[in-house]
Every structure is written in structure tokens, then in C-alpha cells.
Structure 1
Amino acid sequence: MSTATAPPPLVEQTVARLRQDLLSNVHRPGDKLKVDHLRDVYGCSSSPLREALNRLTYEGLVVADERRGFRVAPMTVDDFSDITRLRLILDIQALEESIAVGEDEWEARAVAAFYRLQKVEERLPDGPTVLDGEWTQLHKAFHMTLLSATTSPRLLQTCSNLFDQAERYRRFSAAHRTQPRSKSGEHEAILEATIERNRAEATALLAGHITRTQQDIAALMPKLGL
């Protein structure tokens, strides 16, 4: 008997492909997302595309307008400040609870997620760089694993959605960076404090990690006239 895993449903595939292209700025902020055009790009009918776009609207990556259809969500300093504000509340809460109730298996998954991310980061150059899809996937996996011992599925899902909304800004910041940033060092410090169950240090490090990108964006976007 074959043990091959069945491919995800068409809607799930379309959501994943669209999300990746939105995070990679293939579709740029403010661009119209015309269903007729997207059918050719993604090779599927209007129905799964509309469902995918509606899901991504819920995630905050797409904006829906009854008269104008769908558009890529804009990127602004104020928007990222709002995303950051919520992450500093919700991610911190999820991490605190994970530290309090997480068991050995959770710790092992966190260490493994960090190791996989570190191996990719070792291949990235310092300075301006385009963070690719593999890095994005492993970066999110690391952060979500740290938060995954929370007992609230809704809290974890909201953290996941906010993480994706912040990803476009992270990539934008990385592509324009002129000074190197040791993300691996930041992640390792957060991990060590977390598995040592040092709640105060772990949450302070995570807050600094989240805030640092906001500071970069707040300085960068006005310089570029955005």
C-alpha cells in the first residue's frame, strides 16, 4: 500500500502560492488582484481563487473592496507599528504560557526548528539581501514553535497571521539594509532563555527582536518617500 501523502486541496495550494508571492512582493502593495488575470497565473478557476483571496483578506495580506475587487494590502509605517504593537502583546503572552506549560517534546521541537533555521542563515550574506521562501518558512516555523505550547489555538493562529503580515516588512527592511544584523544570534539568545524557563529574559529578548524591525522600518520608509 502506498504511503504517499495526498497533495493539499486546490484552495490550500492556491492560498499557499498567493501568500508566498505576496510576501515576496511579486504582487506589490496596492496592486489590483484581478481574478481573470490570476486564473492564468495560477492555473485554476475563479472559485478557488476567490476563496483564497478571501482567506488572505482575513490574514491581512489582501484588502477587499466591493466595488474595486481585491488589492494587495498597503505598506505604511503606521500599519507596521500597529502590527508590532499587537505582536508585543500576543506573542509575549503566548511565549509566557509556553514557558510555563511546555514539556520536553516542545523544547526538542524548538531546538530542532532553530537548528534548521540556523543552517539556512549561515548561507545568507550580511548586508542587503533578499530573504527567500525557504528562510521565510523556517523563520516562521521557529517563532511559532516557541509559542506553540500555548493552550489557546486562537491565540496561536492570531500570532501566525500577524507574523505573515510582518513578513513583507521584514523582507523590505532586509533588502535595503546597509548594516549587518545577526538574526541567528538573536534567535539563539531567545531560544536559550526560553528552554531555561527564564520568562523575564526570554520575553524581553523577543520584544527587542520584534521592535528592532519596527525601528528599521520607521527609519527606512520615510527616506524612500513611503
Structure 2
Amino acid sequence: MVDQALARLRHDVLSGTFAAGTKLKVDDLQNAYGFSSSPLREALSRLSQEGLVTADERRGFRVALLSAADMADITHMRLMLDVQALRDSIQRGDDAWEGNVVAAFHRLELVESRLSDGPVILDDTWADLHRGFHLSLLAACASQRQLRWSESLFDQAERYRRFSGRFRKTLKRKTNEHRRILDAALKRDADTACALLEEHMLGTLRNVEAILKDGVPPVP
């Protein structure tokens, strides 16, 4: 029950169903999801540990606020962890790893090709496959702790990606960027793959910073 409650809450926080700063009252969540208070409180505590929710003994739980400084910090940590994880993964990855990465990209490309013009990041299926592709690239990294932290940071950045996708006036699909990263990884060209991944993440940071600079408020 905790895992189910966690999955539902994480989705609604990442997707913006609960806007930044929203108070997450356990009673309201019970009515919305049908879970008892115990699994909901545990799920909220876990989301707090992941940085998606803030906890205060007097105020309870709230969706974490959005800020350019926070996104910059998330990106800084991802650059430290993910780039090195990708380099290690390319060096250690076997045939099975290659197959999984190619399959993850293929699924992502197929779904993206079927979507109409607009912010693909707001499509749940695309978002799940996008996450799967990025994590598959890192999957051969030897450090499980590093992979867990990378996964958590990806989710923290995901909230900002979806936020920015609602307000961006010009949208660029990411298929070509993903393909270039994939091609470099399969060629075992770690330097190129890591440089491309770094620019990929910095591009997301620039998009978010541009939106937050305009003072656009989060929306439910």
C-alpha cells in the first residue's frame, strides 16, 4: 500500500497536479486516493527525503517550491553524478546493456513520433519512456548508490521540465539529442557521450531559468 500511495503521489507532484507550495493534507489525500493515513504519511515522508515534498512538524507536508537556484543546484549535482555514471556505464556495459539502451530509445522515438505538436514532456507515456532511456544509459554503472541518487535527481528535475513545458512559447523535440547521445554511447565514445549529456542537461536548465525569469507562477 505504501508503494502504491508513493507512486500516485509522486506522479501528481511531478505532473503538477499539486502545484508548488500546495499543502498536502492527509485527510484530503485519503478522500482522493482511498488509502488510509499510515501509507500516505509514509509516502509523504519518502517524498520529503527525495526533495519533492517539504515537511514541517507544525505545518505538515507541502509540495516543494520551485526556484531557479534549486534547479541550478539539481543540475549541478546531476552533472557531477550522471556524467561520471555514464562514463562508467559505457566502459562497463555489455551486449545486454547495449540492447536495453537501444530498445529504450526505440520505444521513446516511436511514442514521440505519434504525438502531435506540443510539449511532449506533458505526456505521461513519453515522460516515463524518457526517464527509462536516461536511466538505461547509466544502468551499467558500478555504484548502486550513484544510480539511486541519479534516479532521485532525475525526478526532481522532471518537475521543472514539466513546469517549463507548460509555458514555453517555442518547443524543440529531443529525439535528435537523444540519438546523438545513444550513438556516441554505442560507439563507446565516452568523451562525446558525456559532453552531449552535459549539454542536454544544461539546455533544460536554461529553459527553466528563462521561464522562471518571466515570473510565470506554477499552475495546478
Q: Which category of TM-score, normalised to the shorter sequence, fits these structures? A: over 0.9
Match of 1:117 in 2: 108
Instruction: Give the total of aligned pairs.
Output: 217
Residue 53 of structure 2 corresponds to residue 62 of structure 1: yes
* Closer, same or farther: CA 97–56 of 1 in aligned 2, 3 Å: same
- Distance, in Å, in 1 between the alignment partners of 2:171 and 2:70 is 25
Match of 1:5 in 2: none
Among 167, 171, 179, which residue is 2:170 paired with? 179
Indicate conservation of the 8 Å contact 1:90/1:155, yes or no: yes
- Distance, in Å, in 2 between the alignment partners of 1:20 and 1:183 is 22
* Closer, same or farther: CA 195–130 of 1 in aligned 2, 3 Å: closer
What TM-score, normalized by structure 1, do the two folds share?
0.93
Indicate conservation of the 8 Å contact 1:91/1:159, yes or no: yes
The equivalences for 1:24-173 within 5 A come to 24-128=15-119, 131-173=122-164
- Distance, in Å, in 2 between the alignment partners of 1:86 and 1:16 is 24
- Distance, in Å, in 1 between the alignment partners of 2:164 and 2:104 is 23
Stretches of structure 2 that go unaligned for 5 or more consecutive residues are none
- Distance, in Å, in 2 between the alignment partners of 1:159 and 1:30 is 24
* Closer, same or farther: CA 120–44 of 1 in aligned 2, 3 Å: same
What secondary structure is seen at the aligned counterpart in 2 of 1:28?
coil
Identity of aligned residues (%): 52
What TM-score, normalized by structure 2, do the two folds share?
0.95
Query: Per chain length, whose mean CA-contact separation is higher, i.e. which structure has more relative contact order (CA < 8 Å, sep 6+)?
Result: 2
- AA aligned to 1:187 is H
Indicate conservation of the 8 Å contact 1:61/1:165, yes or no: yes
Stretches of structure 1 that go unaligned for 5 or more consecutive residues are 1-9
What secondary structure is seen at the aligned counterpart in 2 of 1:122?
helix
Match of 1:6 in 2: none
Indicate conservation of the 8 Å contact 2:112/2:120, yes or no: no
- Distance, in Å, in 2 between the alignment partners of 1:151 and 1:63 is 31
